[in-house]
Chains A and B, each alone.
Chain A
Amino acid sequence: MKRTYLAKHKTFFSPGNFSWGVCALAFSILIFVLRFFAPNLFWKAFTPVFRASDSFAVKSHSFVSSFGNAEMLSAKNEQLTEENVALANENQMLLQKEGSVSEDTPGISADVVARPPESPYDSLVLAAGSDIGVTLGMEAFDENGVPIGIVSSVLADFSRVTLFSAPGTTTNGWIGNANIPITIFGAGGGAMNAAMSRSADIAVGDTIFVSGPGELPIGRIVRIDGSASSPSVTLRIMPDANLFSTVWVSLRDTGASSFVSATTTQL
């Protein structure tokens, strides 16, 4: 007669099976403790890792691209050679101007250490902190001067920017040429939403502005959702800045934090 054998209590926590899991958990807890008690040291230790990750991403992109069509690659190679010459000239020019960069760029320039999409949360970690004058509430601008978020926590050498697209973040702004006031809600993944009356004269492609030194465009309407019977519509907004490839940002004290609801806590 066949006997049923239940090995439940033997298998649920069998030590031989999850030793790698225990090691992984211990490592994670160790890293967590390091970050909790010495956040500045933690980010100093991890910055080179993120730099290596960025460099790897660039190299792997080039490698994958190299498997394309040979003719196309040849044409692209020629084009890149020409661009390379142009860039070399531009580089020379920029090197000459290097000394005066800090005077030319308003605010504080900061390297981006961590960004979406590796991060599941809409935030940037910057390699600039209170030691060089970063303060809570400063507004972050991308390379093209597009506002992207607000500094929400600061350490001695690092700071964190909460992006306008972070869920739970609300920003006051304006829309279109008529400057209709709207409240912009972060939708995560770099996107933003806003609600608006159907009767307002709004169309896909209209620009969204926020306050700063004057009115600054932060994104465009890419879709308008809403049923025909509803008096209001939902505007889907994509930012003008490419948050996934932002390499550096400039931080300025524009007083914009009063227009954004974001709490400030430890990094």
Chain B
Amino acid sequence: MMRGTLTFLAFISVILFPWPLTAVLVLVSSLSVPLLPFAIGIFADTIYYAPQTATLPLATILGALTTFVAFFVRSRLRASSIGE
């Protein structure tokens, strides 16, 4: 339920809130939904990215990086005694 709410909020925030707030929300959510930053990155670039304003789709790239880091952190936590 919590994960669903976070996912929904993150998508809504892309349209409703300034992008720094979306970034914070996605960062916080990434520990429980690791794929969310990548999904939100694609969604934000789908709506806002203009090749004239930036060479690379930054939101997607940063989202993918965050997803990778989130998966890595989760795998470390699970493998250690902290996650048991």
Which residues of A are at the interface with B, using a C-beta cutoff of 8 A?
5-8, 10-12, 17-18, 20-25, 27-29, 31-32, 35, 46, 49-50, 53, 56-57, 114, 117-123, 152-153, 160, 162-163, 166-169, 186, 262-265, 267
Contacts and interface: CB of A to CB of B under 8 A. Distances in A.
Interface in B18-48: 18-20, 33-36, 38-40, 42-44, 46-48
B39 A118 contact: no
A68 B45 CA distance: 37
Q: 6 tightest A-B contacts by CB?
A: A21-B35, A24-B39, A11-B78, A117-B18, A119-B48, A166-B53
B75 A11 contact: yes
B38 A118 contact: no
Contacts of B46: 28, 31-32, 35
B15 A118 contact: yes
Grouping DSSP codes into helix (H, G, I), strand (E, B) and loop, the A interface class, with mixed when no group exceeds half, is mixed
Nearest to B20: A117
A123 B52 contact: yes
Contacts of B58: 120
17 contacts: A7-B78, A12-B71, A17-B34, A20-B36, A21-B7, A22-B35, A28-B43, A118-B18, A118-B48, A119-B48, A120-B19, A120-B44, A121-B50, A121-B53, A123-B50, A166-B50, A169-B52
Interface residues of B, number: 42
B53 A169 contact: yes
B70 to A, nearest CB: 9
Contacts of A56: 16
A20 B3 contact: yes
A53 B16 contact: yes
A22 B42 CA distance: 13
Q: Which of B20, B33, B84 has the most CB of A within 10 A?
A: B33
Contacts of B14: 118
A18 B33 CA distance: 6
B81 to A, nearest CB: 9
Contacts of A28: 39-40, 42-43, 46
B37 to A, nearest CB: 9
A263 B54 CA distance: 11
